Amino acid sequence: MATTSSDVRVLSHLIGGDRAAPAGDLIDSVNPADRTDVVARVPLASAETFVDAARAAKAAQPGWAAVPAPVRGQVIAAIGQLVRSNKEALSRLVTREMGKPYAESLGEVQEVIDTCDFFLGEGRRLYGQTVPSEVGDKQLFTFRRPVGTLAIVTAANFPIAVPSWYIIPALLAGNAVVWKPSEMTPAVGDAFAEIMSRAGLPHGVLNLVHANGVNTYDGLGAALEAGLVDKVGFTGSTEVGRAISELAGRFLQTPILELGGKNPLVVAADADLDLAVEGALFGGFGTAGQRCTSTGTIWVHQDVHDEFLRRFTAAVENAVIGDPTQDVLYGPLIAEAYLRRYESYLDWIGDHHTVSGSTSTGQITADAPRKGFVGDPADGFYAHPVIVDGVRPGDDLYAKETFGPLLGVGTYQHLDEAIELANGHGYGLSSAIYTNDPKTAFAFANGISAGMTSVNNSTSGAEAHLPFGGNGLSGNGSRQSGIWVLDAVTRWQSLNWDYSGRLQKAQMDTAVLPADLDFRL
């Protein structure tokens, strides 16, 4: 779809309920499957604009926290309803702006609906406890209090589902939000912000700022310094996560971090190989390998390595790649920069490696065609799937995330070795094992250091109400989704209420009943 400059929408920020007029440079958000299709033009904010948004959030937050939680839950219900009634339009936009196949976009938008469904009920729970006191005429309680203002910075690969994991529980718990979506998916960000605003959120409770990384970092620093941000949430690379964590740490804050992964998929000798092939195909090459949960390396027991690789290579060769509006395994990479980065990672393939199957690597073009490609590869940023066999510790391919359709395979002899290989790079987001032996499955789950593990399912595809997050280089232990994220978006307050009319000192005025501790049977 070619777009002329006159009919391209120019997006704006949303600050304190105002659609702030675009100032500064505009950049194009381009459809990665059709580089002539400009989805939107987006203004990039200065650091000061980011601070303005944080100020608007800070001002709006107490009023929002004063709204009873069940009523806030109704707003979450309305957001869910609006997302549901716009599901197809939102999914088309996700595919157009980010390039994932339409079926996956429908799944992603469903994940937002699921998140709203879960948290609207939390509005009627948000339970605290009543706790017995050690003295009489005194009651103890715990309450969840909102953290305050959250600054949320998200990535392009899940432009609406992952933001919803932060924003929906944060709002439900009575926080205000400044959201900075990826510059590569601003139109999806704009659409989701518009939906949330129409669902009844008071002005300033949700603010949207489009900005590049440098201005976001500077704006975040200034907003933290001014006391306008109480919690940072970040999804993206480990390197940027480390910088954000250091910044937040200076203000004694613990951010929510969802970082990279090098997610291992282990195929045991007793595995159902066809099932493992299906899981490896989706985990390794679904979304063109651009999920945080994408499979990084497949570790195959040496007894089944050759057979697994034969079947897996055939499945990859037969997979349909191309136009993401059609029924394909994957579409283009999110942006040209991602394609160029993937091409540079091909240098990681060394002499001791074997590229399995088709030797075409790099960009899919007329000169390097792909069998069965749907559409014209020259239209977008399409990459060949690459399987590299013979990966071992010490290789870049062993240790580094590829975030593209470039996947390693290696072998192991004993489960302990597989676990060591699966942990050795220090990432710890997702993981999977294919086996029919419960002992093997539980030994793996126990030994792997990962926030998520699957048995006989892919590394990708976590359900929206289970804890999501990683260990080591994949995060700082924070978890999103389900009840677990509530600990990130609220703080526990304990209340002790003494109605005895005198000062009862804990530990000192507590009765001790006599016990005969010398008693023996």
Residues carrying an active site annotation: 258, 292
Give phi and psi for 173, each to the nearest 5: -80, 0
CB of 359 to ligand UN1, least distance (A): 29
Q: How far is the CB of 158 from ligand UN1 (least distance, A)?
A: 5
DSSP-assigned letter for residue 330: B
Distances (CA, A) of 350 to 358, 395, 411: 17, 8, 17
143: which 2 tokens? 């309450």
Question: Which of 63, 70, 128, 461 touches ligand UN1 by CB under 6 A?
Answer: 461
Stretch that binds ligand UN1, among 2-10, 123-131, 157-165, 334-342 (CB under 6 A): 157-165
**Residue 158-197 contact track with ligand UN1, rule CB under 6 A, x = bound:** x---x-----------------------------------
Q: How far apart are CA 284 and CA 21, in angstroms?
A: 42
Distance separating the N- and C-terminal Cα atoms of the chain: 88
Of 460 and 478, the one with the shorter C-beta distance to ligand UN1 is: 460
Question: Which one-letter DSSP state was computed for residue 220?
Answer: H
d(CA 333, CA 114): 27
Least distance (Å) between residue 165 CB and ligand UN1: 8
Give how many residues touch ligand UN1 by CB under 6 A. Answer: 11
Please check whether residue 382 is in contact with residue 349, taking contact to mean a CB–CB distance below 8 angstroms: no
Closest CA relative to residue 343, chosen from 329, 356, 333: 333
Q: Give yes or no for residue 457 binding ligand UN1 (CB under 6 A).
A: no
Write the CA distances from 4 to 39, 48, 93, integer angstroms.
Answer: 11, 32, 18
DSSP state of 394: T
Q: What values do phi and psi take at 155, rounded to 5?
A: -100, 175
| Minimum CB distance to ligand UN1 smaller for 235 or for 363 | 235
Nearer to ligand UN1, 162 or 485 (CB): 162
> Considering the complex, what minimum distance in angstroms separates the CB of residue 238 from ligand UN1?
13
Q: Interaction with ligand UN1 in 98-137: which residues (CB under 6 A)?
A: 111
Q: Which is nearer to ligand UN1, 175 or 235 (CB)?
A: 235
What is the CA angle 162-164-167, rounded to 5?
120
Structure tokens at 317: 């060769």
Instruction: Between 120 and 292, name the residue whose CB sits nearer to ligand UN1.
Output: 292
Choose one: 4-12, 166-174, 326-334, 460-468; the region binding ligand UN1 (CB under 6 A).
460-468
The answer to whether 256 contacts ligand UN1 (rule: CB under 6 A) is no
> CA 342, CA 333: separation in Å to the nearest integer?
9
Residues 91, 105, 115, 157: which binds ligand UN1 (CB under 6 A)? 157
CB within 8 A of 4, min separation 6: which ones? none
Give, as ranges, the residues between 217 and 236 that touch ligand UN1 (CB under 6 A): 235
Please, which of residues 283-312 interact with ligand UN1 by CB under 6 A?
Answer: 291-293
Nearer to ligand UN1, 235 or 435 (CB): 235
The residue (of 292 and 388) whose beta carbon lies closer to ligand UN1 is 292
Q: Residue 301 CB, nearest distance to ligand UN1 (Å)?
A: 25
Which residues, in sequence order, are CB contacts of 249 under 8 Å at separation 6+? none
Nearer to ligand UN1, 231 or 291 (CB): 291
Closest separation between CB of residue 237 and ligand UN1, Å? 12
Site string for ligand UN1, 470-489 (x = CB under 6 A): --------------------
Residue in 508, 512, 499, 438 with CA at minimum distance from that of residue 139: 499
Least distance from ligand UN1 to the Cβ atom of residue 235, Å: 6
Sole residue written with tokens 């048995």: 455
**Strands, DSSP E only, in 74-229?**
130-131, 138-146, 149-153, 176-180, 206-208
Stretch that binds ligand UN1, among 169-177, 199-207, 248-256, 459-467 (CB under 6 A): 459-467
Cβ at position 26, least distance to ligand UN1 in Å? 28
- Half-sphere exposure for 499 (CA within 13 Å, toward CB): 6
Q: Which stretch binds ligand UN1 (CB under 6 A): 177-185, 366-374, 455-463, 507-515?
A: 455-463
Contact status: 462 vs ligand UN1 (CB under 6 A)? yes
Orientation of helix 161-172 relative to helix 102-122, angle to 10°? 10
Task: Give 260 or 385: the residue with its C-beta nearer to ligand UN1.
Answer: 260
* Identity of the residue numbered 502: R
Radius of gyration of the chain (CA): 25
In three-state secondary structure terms, 134 is coil
Residue numbers of the site for ligand UN1 (CB under 6 A)?
111, 157-158, 162, 235, 291-293, 460-462
